[in-house]
Every structure is written in structure tokens, then in C-alpha cells.
Homo-oligomer: A and B are copies of this chain.
Amino acid sequence: MKIKIIDTLFDPWQEIQQYQLSIPEVKGKFGATSVFVGTMRDFNDGDNVKGMNLEHYPGMTEKQLQKIVEQAMQQWHILDALVVHRVGDIFPDEPIVLVAIWSSHRGDAFDTSRYIMERLKSKAPFWKKEILVDDAERWVGKNTDGYKK
């Protein structure tokens, strides 16, 4: 399992490739990989957004993410997990978060990646401040529930 907070641009697909190479013990054992990537959009709540600053609580963030992944592992059979989250200045089209789950069967992989994303969005201490096109800044108020349709 790996949890990584980074303050520079990352390529989620390269992160997955590299991490998968580092876990040869799951080779031939995993039949399912479920991945979620959250990417910055250039709009939110009806406004054009030109950038964002992502603040976090160093130490607590890692601790809470660790806990979330462990809670998932108690509910589903998974082989490995990778969570990468960006902090600092972020611009549209840049990835913010990556969750990748390896498991034998697809049900576990799907359920776990979604569970981790929902928990991360409600429990991991990250805060987004958006910079609008007119340079006005605003804190994002609340994350929405991703299970609702």
C-alpha cells in the first residue's frame, strides 16, 4: 500500500505503471484494477476557474488516508492500493487525486475505489481555494456526495 502527498504535477497513468512494477508479488494474482482520477476543471458552480490552491494538514492527512484504506481492506478483499493526492497550486486539466485498487475480483476493486474516494472527500483534511478568472479567490464550501445520482 502506498499513500503519497505531492506538491508538483504528476501523471496518474505513469504513477500506476511504476507502482505496479514495484509490487511483483501480486503478478498473476490480480484480475481487477479499478482506478479513479480526479482532475481540475476550468469551471465550478457556474464560474470559470483559472487555478486553485490546495491546503492540507501535514501528518493528519496521511494518517486519515491510511485509516481510510485500512477500513476498506476490512470490508473488501483487495491486494494492493495506491493513493496520490496533490497539494499546493493546481491549474485546470491537472490531476488532483489518484486512487488505484488491485484485487482478484472486480466487485471488490470497484467498491473499494469508490469507498476510498467518498471517505477521502469527507474525511481527509484537504481544502480547496479557487482562483476565478477575475483573480477573486473563494474557498470551496463543501464536497458533494458522490453516491447520489
Write the residues of chain A forming the contact surface with B, with a CB cutoff of 8 angstroms.
11-14, 16-17, 27-43, 76, 92-93, 104-107, 109-111, 113-114, 117, 144, 146-149
Is there contact, CB below 8 Å, between A38 and B31? yes
With a cutoff of 8 Å between Cβ atoms, the chain B residues found around residue A31 in the complex are 38-41
With a cutoff of 8 Å between Cβ atoms, the chain B residues found around residue A11 in the complex are 17
- Given A14-B13, A110-B146, A147-B107, A37 contacting B28 (CB threshold 8 A): no
- Given A16-B13, A110-B114, A33 contacting B29 (CB threshold 8 A): no
Is there contact, CB below 8 Å, between A42 and B28? yes
With a cutoff of 8 Å between Cβ atoms, the chain B residues found around residue A109 in the complex are 36
